[in-house]
Structure 1
Amino acid sequence: MAFSLDMTSAATLKAEAKALRQEHARAGNPISHGAALEMSAKAHGYRDWNTARALLPERVSAPVQVGSRAKGTYLGHPFRGLVIGVNLMADMQHYQVTVKFDDPVDVVKSEHFSALRQRVTATVDIRGVSLATTSDGEPHMRITRE
């Protein structure tokens, strides 16, 4: 199954249902967990929660896994390295990835000095592309499995 940034997961619908239930409780109109799940599923175009649950993945796929080898670019420089951390963000669509580079990457473009990085952490989407960009619009990190 292919994934996109707007791909909903079962975990996302569950989180939305929990928030919906809390909203209703604050407004003095409490609803059951089941009713919140049904409302969340219908809001995403599914007939009911059971249909949504049967069709949706539990979570969106991670671009890399802890302990795997990775390659890509960091601040425009190619790298290869070891993934030493992957954390799913609260929106269930992004990951905080920590990579230990095989060879340090110089993050400065100046010819007058260097600033080498051996280990970096970046937030990436499910395609492995960071949200943060350089001033010229290039993503800070692009990462894929090696």
Structure 2
Amino acid sequence: MKCFETVTLIAASPATVFDLSLDVDLHTASMAGSGERIVGGVRAGRMTLGDTVTWEARHFGVRWRMTSRISAYERPGRFVDEQVAGPFKRWHHTHHFAPDGRGGTVMRDVIEFAAPFGLLGTGVEAVALARYMHKLIEARNVHVKECAEASA
């Protein structure tokens, strides 16, 4: 299993960043490069505790589906999304939002994931998947930052 963390500084309040981070429309826009789209569950607006969404996207030339659920929700400080069905053996993403002391937010993402397929999956994690997922989350965070700062 792999774990990585990203930190993004955003010039908007934690409540604003928290709410935008749960918006499926914003998420879809941030993942336009992979053609990500919603095929089930919450289809518009902001998710909340217990909500699920099923995403379909193309990564590594293969079309994937993943259903995730909001399993923890503590506005405006933290929420968790976890895979309930999809390509990973495990996907657990904790989103943290803390005041930066100047009216902005320190957004911290902690992602734990494991690829399927035993030793083959472990090899793919080490060679390519961890780096790919890290870049994907960072690109999403740039989009969240731009939207949050434009609305602040």
Higher strand proportion (structure 1 or 2): 2
What's the TM-score once normalised by structure 2's chain length? 0.30
* Structure with more helix by fraction: 2
TM-score, with length taken from structure 1: 0.31
Work out which structure has the larger RCO, using CA pairs closer than 8 Å and 6 or more positions apart in sequence: 2
